[in-house]
Structures are given as C-alpha cells and as structure tokens.
C-alpha cells in the first residue's frame, strides 16, 4: 500500500504522530510531500520510502500542482491537521484532488481520522467560498478607518517609510 | 587557538521539573567552554530556587515579573560568549549539538543564526534519542529564505548584544520571524542544520494552545508594520484583515478579531520602532501567514 503524507503541519507534530500513523497502516510504503526547506528534516523518519519536494514557496494549493508527483499514484493521501476541526486546511484538501489517489484521509491533532470524498471536498470548498465573500466585505469595511488611522500615526509619529 | 565561549540562554517560567532535566542534560554537552544563563520570568513554583541550589555553575537572573520573550534580551545582554544558544525551558541540545553549531559558525562568518533541528520527544523516548543526521544544507539553497525556531537556535552574538534581538512588546510568538528579518537584512544568513539537534520535551504543562492564536495573529501585524516597506505593509495588512475575518467566521471565535484590534491599538508604538527592511529581504522570506490562523482549538 502506497501512502503519501502531505506535510501540512510542523515536524514536531509529525514526530508526535508518525508512529501512530504507521501502526494504523502496517506494512505500508510511506512517502512525504514537503516544501524544499523541509526536505532534509523529512528524511529522518523510519520507514519512509521517499521525500517529494513541493516546487513552490507558497502553501499547497490546487492551482499549483506538484510537478514532482507527475506519473505517481497512491493508494491513499493523508493530510494532518494541527487543530481539531481542520479549519485552515481546506486548501490542502482541495490540493489532494491534484494527486492521483484512491482515498483521501485527514488526521487531526487528537488522532481522529476522517475519510473525504471528492464531493465532500468540493462542498467544503463551496462553503469556504461563501465565507470568503463575507470576510472580503468585512475587510473592505475595516480598511477605511484603518487607512485613516495609519496616516494619522505616520503624521504624528514621524516614522520611517 | 582556544575554542570560543558559547553562552546557553534559557528562559524559564514555572517549569521546575523540566528545567532540572534540561540543565542536567546541558552538563552532558561535549563542547567546552560554555556558560549557562537562566533567566527566570518570576516563576512561582520554585524554579529559581532549584537552579540556585542544584546548579551553582549556572548564572541565574531573576526577573521581577513575567516579561515573556523580552527575558531573552536580558539573558543575551548578560552573556559573554562569542555565540549563544537559545533554548526553551523544556528543550535541550543533543550532546554534540553545540560543537557542531560552533563548527558551522566558524566555517562561514556570514552565518548569523544556525537553526537547529528541533525534534519532539516524549519522556519515554528520551533515553533512546534518535541519532543525528549528517545532512547539511541551507534554506537559501531552496530559493527562498526562512526564519528559525526559538526553541533551539544558535546566534552570533554580535547580532544580539544590543539587548533588542527580540521585540519586547511581542511577549510571545513570531518574535523569531521579526528577528529573522533583521538578521537577513543585516547581510547575515540563517542556515538550518539538521546535524544540530535539539530535543523538545512533550511537557504535560504545554501552555501553547490557548494563547497561540491571539499572540501569533497580533504579532504578525506588528512584524509587518515594523519590517515591511510601506506599500507592501499596507497590502499585507489588508490581506491579514481578510484572514482575520475569514478565520473568525470559519472557526466561530472572536480571538482573531480581538488580536487584530489590539494590534491596531498598539500601532503607534510599533510604528515608532519601525525599521523597514529591503523589499528583496521580504520577497525572499517564506512567511506562512495561513499557519497563524490554525492554532485555535
């Protein structure tokens, strides 16, 4: 069984959960996808077959697929969450759709697993899209008083530009 | 030529048992000479008394109140080493980590900070700490630059003697990122060296989770306002506003909005301390803004 772990959390969290993940899938071949700065650190895990390097500086994102995974397929993609709810990791779940895999799983900080369907990932993206519109409106409203406050602080404080 | 003195600076707050273990582990360091400076942030559990009684070789500084990460500045100002090692009160270096760090610094005078490989260990893992790797590479090789983890980092002291290595008003979190901008902008580099290992104990007293969302978010605003060139600061601020509202709605918590408002409230003082770095320094640094909005549990 080939499993791809998308390294979406700190290495300290991977340290904490790595053995637990391996026990859940005995005999599986593990692969990690990480950003370039994590390549050397990712190589230390026991039982790891290969480290793939995400070729972008920015976060995992569906419109920036990993060229290093071209031609690769996996039985399972695992996305760890650094919290209980998975809030903030929707972009990573959407990114998993660019990877050829039969199953998509998430594991939160407490070790709770959840299997995601493609429909579930899209539905969650839709909800996040609506939240994004509301947040954008609020940010635009907040920007006006903030801009005045910024100018006032500059004029008053003599700060450097 | 004699080996350069290394100062280990550790800030402690109410973690007596962890501090006892960490200081015991520091005695196993193969590198000499080292001095250990413990800055106690007004602990109420007898941490300072333990250090004074059981570790007479340690230089103890008692703060009158908990000043957060500003205590590192006090420790660094008191340190007399050529290099410093910054540790949390629940992290300790592998026995050979400091000698490896010194070799790294001595090999390249442009290195300002050596970022250690900070590994999580639970109490039962400690006797079987995993072996260190010999792979060495810098972040710069990956095409972008990075900050470092303050739970284990080596610092060239000429960057830290001024007493303002970390911004005191931050109290907790994102102080390393602010320092990283200054280090890169001063023409030094930050290299990650996985051969320099620090073990971070899984303490039952982990206190991060409740305070992290607030401090990470408030302080990222301040990092931006202190360091980013004006236009980029304005653009990034708008994007952070959006992220605050988005995370507040998605996670149904007011903590991000509160952090944002407190950041704005503190803006006059932050702007007075503003020292914008070169645009190129900001462009090359990888700042994972999205991460700061994932700590609410």
Closest Cβ opposite residue A143 in set B130, B241, B276: B241
Residue B33: asked if its preceding bond is cis (omega within 30°), the reply is yes
The 8 Å CB, 24+ separation contacts for B235-241 are B237/A146, B237/A150, B238/A139, B238/A143, B239/B289, B240/B289, B241/A138, B241/A139, B241/A142, B241/A143, B241/A146
Domain-ending residue, one of B172, B201, B230? B201
What local confidence, expressed as pLDDT, does residue A120 receive? 96
So what's the pLDDT on residue B203? 59
Record: contact B202-A82, CB cut-off 8 A: no
Judge if B17 and B87 occupy the same domain.
yes
Do B182 and B269 share a domain, yes or no? no
- pLDDT score for B126: 60
**B111, B40: one domain:** yes
Structural domain boundaries enclosing A6? 2-116
Residues B245, A135: contact at Cβ < 8 Å? yes
Tokens of A130: 């609506």
B221 plus B160 within the same structural domain: no
- Considering the domain architecture, whether residues B156 and B237 belong to the same structural domain is answered as no
Here the CATH number for the domain that contains residue A65 is 3.40.50
Query: What is the reported pLDDT for B207?
Result: 55
Q: Do B233 and B159 have their domain in common?
A: no
Domain of B280? 208-293
Final residue in a domain of this structure, among B183, B201, B219: B201
Which of B259, B277, B230, B84 has the alpha carbon at shortest distance from B163? B84
Read off the tokens for B19.
């501090």
Q: Rounded CA gap, B233 and B154, in Å?
A: 29
Which residues of B, range 129-148, sit inside 8 Å of A by Cβ? Answer: 130, 133, 135-137, 139, 141-144, 146
Strand partners, B84: B7, B155
Is B242 inside a domain boundary? yes
Strands A2-6 and A29-35: parallel
Q: Average pLDDT for consecutive 10-residue bins of chain A (161 residues)?
A: 95 91 94 92 89 93 94 97 90 96 95 96 96 96 89 68 56
Q: How many structural domains compose chain A?
A: 1
Mean pLDDT computed over B30-40: 97
Q: What is the pLDDT of residue A40?
A: 84
- Within a domain: B112: yes
| Interface size between A and B, measured as CB pairs under 8 A | 123
The answer on pLDDT for B131 being more than 90 is no
CA distances from B81 to A23, A138, B154, B165 (A): 45, 50, 11, 15
Residues of chain B in contact with residue A87, where contact means CB-CB under 8 angstroms, are 247, 250-251, 293-294, 296
Asked if residue B296 has pLDDT above 70, the reply is yes
> What sign results for the dihedral spanned by CA atoms B214, B238, B220, B141?
positive
Nearest CB neighbour to B268, from listed A85, A147, A153: A153
CATH of the domain at B127: 3.90.550.10
Residues B11 and B139 placed together within one structural domain of the fold: yes
State the pLDDT confidence band at B98, using cuts at 50, 70 and 90.
very high
Q: Which residue, among B9, B4, B2, has the nearest Cα to B154 in the 3D structure? A: B9
Distances (CA, A) of A107 to A49, A117, A128, B271: 20, 15, 20, 41
Q: Which residues of B touch A16 (CB under 8 A)?
A: 120, 122, 202
C-alpha–C-alpha distance, residues B214 and B222, integer Å = 13
Average pLDDT, chain B: 90
**ipTM for the complex?**
0.89
């Amino acid at each position: 069984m080939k499993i791809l772990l998308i390294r979406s959390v700190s290495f300290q969290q991977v340290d904490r959960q790595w053995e637990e993940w391996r026990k859940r899938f005995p005999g599986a071949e593990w692969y990690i996808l990480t950003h370039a700065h994590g390549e050397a650190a990712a190589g230390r895990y026991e039982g790891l077959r290969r480290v793939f390097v995400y070729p972008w500086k920015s976060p995992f994102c569906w419109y920036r697929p990993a060229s290093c995974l071209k031609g690769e397929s996996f039985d399972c993609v695992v996305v760890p969450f650094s919290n209980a709810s998975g809030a903030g990791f929707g972009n990573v779940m959407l990114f998993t759709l660019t990877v050829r895999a039969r199953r998509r799983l998430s594991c939160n900080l407490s070790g709770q697993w959840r299997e995601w369907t493609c429909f579930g990932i899209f539905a969650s993206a839709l909800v996040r899209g609506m939240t994004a519109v509301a947040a954008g409106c609020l940010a635009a409203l907040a920007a006006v008083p903030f801009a005045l406050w910024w100018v006032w602080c500059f004029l008053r404080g003599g700060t450097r530009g | 030529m004699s080996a350069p003195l290394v100062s280990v600076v550790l800030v402690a707050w109410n973690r007596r048992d962890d501090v006892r273990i960490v200081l015991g582990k520091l005695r196993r360091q193969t590198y000499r000479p080292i001095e250990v400076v413990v800055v106690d942030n007004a602990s109420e559990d007898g941490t300072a008394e333990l250090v004074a009684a059981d570790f007479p070789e340690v230089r103890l500084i008692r703060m009158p109140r908990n000043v957060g990460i500003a205590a590192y500045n006090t420790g660094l100002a008191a340190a007399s080493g050529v290099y410093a090692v910054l540790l949390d009160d629940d992290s300790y270096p592998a026995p050979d980590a400091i000698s490896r760090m010194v070799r790294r610094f001595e090999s390249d005078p442009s290195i300002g900070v050596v970022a250690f490989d900070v590994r999580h260990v639970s109490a039962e893992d400690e006797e079987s700490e995993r072996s260190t790797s010999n792979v060495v590479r810098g972040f710069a090789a990956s095409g972008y630059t990075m900050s470092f983890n303050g739970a284990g980092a080596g610092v060239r002291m000429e960057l830290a003697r001024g007493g303002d290595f970390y911004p005191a008003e931050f109290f907790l979190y994102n102080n390393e990122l602010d320092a990283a901008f200054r280090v890169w902008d001063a023409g030094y580099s930050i290299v990650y060296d996985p051969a320099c290992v620090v073990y971070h104990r899984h303490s039952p007293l982990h206190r991060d989770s409740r305070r992290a969302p607030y401090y990470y978010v408030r302080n990222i605003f301040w990092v931006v306002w202190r360091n980013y060139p004006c236009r980029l600061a304005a653009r990034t601020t708008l994007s952070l506003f959006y992220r605050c509202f988005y995370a507040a709605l998605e996670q149904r918590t007011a903590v991000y909005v509160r952090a944002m408002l407190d950041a704005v409230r503190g803006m006059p003082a932050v702007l007075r301390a503003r020292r914008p770095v070169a645009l190129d320094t900001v462009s090359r640094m990888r700042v994972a803004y999205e991460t700061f909005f994932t700590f609410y549990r």
